[in-house]
Amino acid sequence: MPRRETAAARALRMAAMTASVTGSYIGYLAQRSFLGEKKREEKLRSTHAKTGRRIVNDLQSLRGPAMKLGQFLSVQSGVLPDETLSELASLQREAPAMHPSLARAQFKGAMGAAPERVFKSFDETPFAAASLGQVHRAVTHDGETVAVKIQYPGIKDAVKNDFTWFRAFATASQIKRRFPETLLGELERHIVAETDYESEARNVEFFAQALRPLKYVDVPRVRADLSRDVVLTLSMLDGESIDAFLSRRPSQKLRDLVGERLLEMYYFQVLRLEAFHADPHWGNYLFRPDGTIGLVDFGCVKYLSRAFVDNLRAVFLYPGRRDSAAFRDLLARRYALAGQRLSAKSQRALVQMATEFYGKVYPPDIERDEERFDFGNAPVVLDYMRETQNLTRAKGTLPEYVFLGRAEAGLYSTLHRLKARVRTSALVRRCLADRTV
């Protein structure tokens, strides 16, 4: 075991583990930490994300959706550096690893036949972790190389149970105030949706179609004939992780190109598609030497309402003063859409964010459109999170912010790592200009 702990603490974890034998996601993860898996120890030894480690350790007593909540909270409250974020992002998708016999049994339970019969060849060792499961490489009988996602058994029910538990727990505590029911409901819907590979398949198909205007983005194709609720088969995309990509020392020009594309992808999704890939985990972006990008894992997708996006359109690159009555009125209307009243405190936080953060990263003056914002210079993500933290303190968080914040923080930390110089405002303006998809 990595840490010494009191008997009481251990008893508690044992209790969490056994309370409901298959019923709790917390149980799965408690078990994993209880058994002190090698992989985690290695990770803890190797990386330099000290804070991440500490927080990850602290969060281990609060795993499952509780941990996911903690993670969203941390993105929202913005006290964490970007390394920490990535550490947390990797935690969030962890399910206990399945050995080949278990993966095979789970596959067979869903598909009615074992993988070695369904596929021409099937790699027993997974090549990646997926949302609450793992991904195997396989070749279909018609010769296509595919990625087969298999979900850990029973995780959907476990997640649902944990939310029931969390609600009961949250009622009696301060958490309730930080997490109003609207927010909790939103999170539950999305985390449960992430366990539903059929809904993910629909997301993949939607984005494959909708992202077509962006020629440089590749989205996998769903093999519906080889997919079920806990098994999802997708065409394999090539490309490498950001770490591998950066290790080849790509030129500034290439990094700028990729950076601009990432930023455009984000605003194109939010403003034009009114739906976005809300899982900015680095493993979900596959980079290629020609500057094209593969986008995978559509388990967490947020669909926005037209009215909400219209409001964003009015606010983005707002040309006038951001402490003006007109601008504040726009913000108030956004909250009215959600049936909330914008408090004076939240309003101050939002106006400050619009001026101090967005005004600097995205100068609204069209004359400055050719200027490139250098994401390599400053860890913008820290500024971003400091601002969102102010907003959270002011209790001004809308459910949409949770996902926008997650995607945006992920975007900025990627751009920072790329040291990309990006014509931010020009790209946003382009996405604002045309609404036809």
Partner 1 sequence: MPASRARQRRPKPPSRVTKRPTPPRGGRTRERQKEAVRQRIVDAALALFQSKGFDETTTRQIARKAKLAEGTIFNYFETKEDIALHFFELELDHAIATVRGNARLRRAPLDEKLFALVEAQLEFLAPYERFIGAAFVHALRPTSRIAFSMRALDLRNRYIAFVQELLQESERIPTGGVLAWAAPSVFWIYYLGILLYWLNDASKGKQHTLALLDRSLRIGVAVLEKRSL
Q: Which residues form the catalytic set?
A: 279
Q: Tell me if 31 contacts partner 1 by CB under 8 A.
A: yes
Q: Please select the residue that binds partner 1; options are 76, 84, 106, 134, rule is CB under 8 A.
A: 106
27 in contact with partner 1 (CB under 8 A): yes
Q: Does 12 bind partner 1 (CB under 8 A)?
A: no
127 close to 238: Cβ distance less than 8 angstroms: no
The answer to whether residues 152 and 232 touch, using CB atoms and an 8 Å cutoff, is no
Q: What are phi and psi of 295, to 5 degrees?
A: -115, 125
* Nearest-approach distance from CB 11 to partner 1, in angstroms: 11
Under the binding rule (CB under 8 A), the answer on residue 197 touching partner 1 is no
What does the alpha-carbon distance between residue 200 and residue 202 come to, in Å, rounded to a whole number? 5
Residue span binding partner 1 (CB under 8 A) among the ranges 153-161, 179-187, 234-242, 276-284: 153-161
- The answer to whether the beta carbons of residues 431 and 268 sit under 8 Å apart is yes
Pick from 394, 393, 387: nearest CA to 408: 387
Provide the minimum distance between the beta carbon of 279 and partner 1 in the complex, in angstroms, as a whole number: 24
What is each CA distance from 343 to 321, 328, 331, in whole angstroms?
Answer: 20, 11, 11
Q: Is 139 in the site for partner 1 (CB under 8 A)?
A: no
- Tell me: does residue 100 bind partner 1 (CB under 8 A): yes
Cα–Cα distance measured from residue 315 to residue 322, given in angstroms and rounded to the nearest whole number: 9
Region of 233 please: left (phi>0), alpha (psi -120 to 50) or beta.
beta
Q: Single out the residue of 5, 124, 181, 323 in contact with partner 1 (rule: CB under 8 A).
A: 124
252 contacts partner 1 (rule: CB under 8 A):
no
Minimum distance from residue 21 beta carbon to partner 1 (Å): 5
Are 410 and 402 in contact, with CB atoms under 8 Å apart? Answer: no
Identity of the residue, 101 or 174, whose beta carbon is nearer to partner 1 in the bound complex: 101
Write phi, then psi, for 148 (nearest 5 degrees): -110, 115
Q: Is 35 in the site for partner 1 (CB under 8 A)?
A: yes
Would you count residue 230 as binding partner 1 (CB under 8 A)? yes
* Interaction of residue 21 with partner 1, rule CB under 8 A: yes
Closer residue to partner 1, CB minimum distance, 19 or 426? 19
DSSP 133: E
Q: Which of 114, 244, 326, 336 binds partner 1 (CB under 8 A)?
A: 114
CB distance 290 to 240 below 8 Å: no
Burial label for 173, CB within 10 Å (0-12, 13-18, 19+), is exposed
Contact between 22 and partner 1 (CB under 8 A)?
yes
DSSP state of 358: I
CB of 8 to partner 1, least distance (A): 15
Of positions 5, 42, 58, 116, contacts partner 1 by CB under 8 A: 116
Q: How many residues bind partner 1 (CB under 8 A)?
A: 34
Burial of 370 (0-12, 13-18, 19+ CB in 10 A): exposed
Please answer whether residues 132 and 195 qualify as being in contact, where contact means their C-beta atoms are separated by less than 8 angstroms. Answer: yes
Stretch that binds partner 1, among 48-56, 154-162, 247-255, 350-358 (CB under 8 A): 154-162
Contact status: 229 vs partner 1 (CB under 8 A): yes
Query: Which residues form the interface with partner 1 (CB under 8 A)?
Result: 1, 17, 21-22, 27-28, 31, 34-36, 96, 98-102, 105-106, 108-110, 114, 116-117, 121, 124, 152-155, 157-158, 229-230
